[in-house]
Structure 1
Amino acid sequence: MAQRFYFDLTDGNTIIRDEEGVEVDDAQAALEQAEAAVQEMRADGELAGLRGSWKLLVRMSTDTVLTVITIP
């Protein structure tokens, strides 16, 4: 059964919450989607303006953080 996962951006002080999320079959698929999202944001130049140490939080609908991806 599909689950909804959310990808939030944070620098430790500011958090940009993903209110829409993605629906995927499992946690592994969510991690793959998160990696793809970072690559897409990088390719589109969306990460160019970020200063400091930003991370992408992959969280479940229960707000449990599944993993944290550092955005270099």
Structure 2
Amino acid sequence: MLVGGAKIGRWQPTSVGRHGFDAAARRADPGLVVEALCGVEVSTDELQQIAPEVAWIREKTCMDCWRVLAARQQ
């Protein structure tokens, strides 16, 4: 999905909540740190793992990421 010229890769539950990431973050090399749309830093090792289904329920959606996406659509 293209939003404001940037491809949105996905929402991903992490140890610090469910965040939105650009597609480039998902494809970054292992062992690096990438930023969610809100600026939270997450290891690519964690981002590239398949999140357990319960994490999608347990982790709250980051409203800052949500606002960034909403602003890109305007």
The answer to whether the superposition gives a TM-score over 0.5 is no
Which has the larger helix fraction?
A: 2
Higher relative contact order (CA 8 A, sep 6+): 1
Which has the larger strand fraction?
A: 1
